[in-house]
Amino acid sequence: MATYDIIIRGGTIVDGTRAPRYISDIAIKDGRIAKIGGLNGGDAEREIDAKGLIVAPGFIDLHTHYDAQIFWDPYCTLSGWHGVTSVALGNCGFGFAPSRVEDRDRSMLSMTRNEAIPYDAMKAGMPWNWITFPDFIDSLENTPKGINCLTYVPLTPLYAWVMGWDEAKTRRPTEAELQEMVRLIHEAMDHGACGWSAQVLGETSVQRDYDGTPMITDLLSEHEVLTFAQVLRDRDEGFIELAYQETGEDGRPLGEETRNFFEQVAEVSGRPVLYQAVAPNAVHPEQHRERIRWLESCAERG
């Protein structure tokens, strides 16, 4: 009987620790790395010649919108073609659970605009064998996949579940409704959700619902966001993905105010908060560098 299941020979190893790359052999047993190097006399049921190739851990894509596609495309292409082996779903507060049967079309219509997912593809490719968020997790678990996935609790369908799609855009939740959403986040995380996500870009956001109105979470108050942040503090687990407005309705930059609020969310939750993309801005060429310096400062301060 062979000592190992697989030996990958002669590959250039980039291990993700920032150590210099090096050439070596890797032995795999029972789905785990059993040994690196010193395998000249080792035997395996299968050997892979990796000379001239990179051997590295799979990439983790923390921001995707494969919530629908994963049900008909097990590799979440094109990501799976380029070394991504794990994806996070439910970003920006967008998703499909919880959802009552009568709200399914509404959920799909929303995603046709804000994430450009074709309605016909969703209609044909999604099993819709869930109602609650735990049901959705079970459906993901039972779906054949070529990659790993984890999912946030997206706040848009959560608000729609508790308040209704249209009403959630016309008023703020009562304290009882807010606490029901807190309960549902706990329930989802008990069942495997990794945290929660929201896009809070204000009424002037260009990331709109299918009918041109703001997305539900664009209208969230700071009190609501901090209430949900407290859930993670209470659990001492999970993380938050939050896109927050950078400009006011008058076009005034809200850089410092936004950064202060992100720090407040991190402080209240006691957990990691994923900041939206740091991208170059031709109008404000130093903006991305300022944000990187701020993020480095946050890391230094814990």
CATH number of the domain residue 283 falls in? 3.20.20.140
Q: Are residues 226 and 254 in the same domain?
A: yes
Q: Are residues 193 and 237 in the same domain?
A: yes
Q: Residue 257: its pLDDT value, please? A: 85
Q: Are residues 116 and 234 in the same domain?
A: yes
Where do we find the tokens 């993700």?
16
> Which range of residues forms the domain containing residue 216?
59-300
Strands 239-244 and 273-274: parallel
Q: Are residues 203 and 247 in the same domain?
A: yes
- Say whether pLDDT at 254 is over 70: no
Query: Edge to edge, what strands does the sheet with 239-244 contain?
Result: 153-154, 195-200, 239-244, 273-274
Instruction: Specify the higher pLDDT residue, 224 or 301.
Output: 224
Q: Are residues 25 and 145 in the same domain?
A: no
- Please, are residues 89 and 66 in contact by the beta-carbon 8 Å criterion? yes
Q: Are residues 15 and 114 in the same domain?
A: no
- In 41-155, DSSP assigns E strands to 44-49, 54-55, 59-61, 84-89, 148-151, 153-154
Please calculate the CA angle 76-192-154 and round it to the nearest 5 degrees. Answer: 65
Let me know if 161 is exposed, middle or buried by CB neighbors in 10 A (0-12, 13-18, 19+): buried
Domain boundary among 55, 72, 87: 55
- Say whether pLDDT at 38 is over 80: yes
Q: What is the pLDDT of residues 219-232, one digit of tens each?
A: 999 999 999 999 99
pTM for this entry: 0.88
Q: Are residues 266 and 123 in the same domain?
A: yes
Q: Are residues 40 and 173 in the same domain?
A: no
Which parts of the chain fold into alpha helices (H)?
A: 104-114, 119-125, 133-142, 155-163, 175-190, 222-235, 255-269, 287-300
Q: Are residues 17 and 75 in the same domain?
A: no
Distance CA 56, CA 68 (A): 28
Q: Are residues 40 and 68 in the same domain?
A: no
Q: How would you write 155-198 as a 3-class SS string?
A: HHHHHHHHHCCCHHHCCCCCHHHHHHHHHHHHHHHHCCCCEEEE
Q: Are residues 50 and 122 in the same domain?
A: no
Q: Per the structure, how many domains does the chain have?
A: 2
User: pLDDT class for 69, splitting at 50, 70, 90?
Assistant: very high
Q: Are residues 72 and 45 in the same domain?
A: no
